[in-house]
Structure 1
Amino acid sequence: MIRGTVYGSPPPPRLHPRHVRDRQFAAAGFGRRGLDPKEVRHFLHRVALELAALNQDVNRLSEENARVKRVLRDYRSAQARRTP
């Protein structure tokens, strides 16, 4: 089983800022109050900005992690060559 899945089902698709920005809400039906569309759009924009920042951080940290792993692998290889 793949980590993070239930009974082998694929993980849900990642949420990206464009998904939040482009999300449309149905209008409230007749006789219902509904939500203030400006408030909803403002909130969705804030969420999208936060997701963008988090995705940037994840990408940056993934690259840094790969770099550190390469340095460690190279160091270990050099140490193994030095040891008789």
Structure 2
Amino acid sequence: MRWPGRRARAGRGTTQPGCYRAANYTPLRPWQVRERRFRTTRLGRRGLDPAEVHEFLDRVALDLADVYRALGVSREETARVRDALRRWQSEQAQMRMNAGAYRR
């Protein structure tokens, strides 16, 4: 199954703390799995059924898309919690400053 309108996109390397990958490593994207094609075998040699390979690649691409979607949701939730924590810390610091001003 082909996915029309999908084109190769330039990847970006990641150098996150604790990441074992090289800076020029580009994560595999679902569209790359879907569009991957293999050479056919020469006449008289054994090979894989192209339809079966493409079906498997589509399944892998769907699973990979689900993982990226979940990762995006997780990052959004992390950002929301981080922002809430920062607001709470600011409020606590302000309350301490106000309490200290009243003691003097």
The RMSD of aligned alpha carbons is 1.5
Q: Percent identity?
A: 41
Identify which of 28, 42, 67 aligns with 1:29: 42
In 2, Cα distance between the equivalents of 1:5 and 1:79? Answer: 38
Amino acid in structure 2 at the alignment position of 1:12: Y
Q: State the SS of the aligned residue for 1:25.
A: coil
* Alignment map for 1:27-66 (pairs within 5 Å): 27-66=40-79
Report how many aligned residue pairs link the two structures. 81
Larger Cα-atom Rg: 2
How much does 1:45 deviate?
0.3
Q: What TM-score, normalized by structure 2, do the two folds share?
A: 0.72
**Larger relative contact order (C-alpha < 8 A, sep ≥ 6)?**
1
Amino acid in structure 2 at the alignment position of 1:25: F
4+ residue segments displaced more than 4 Å: none
Contact conserved, 1:20 with 1:45, CA < 8 A, in 2? yes
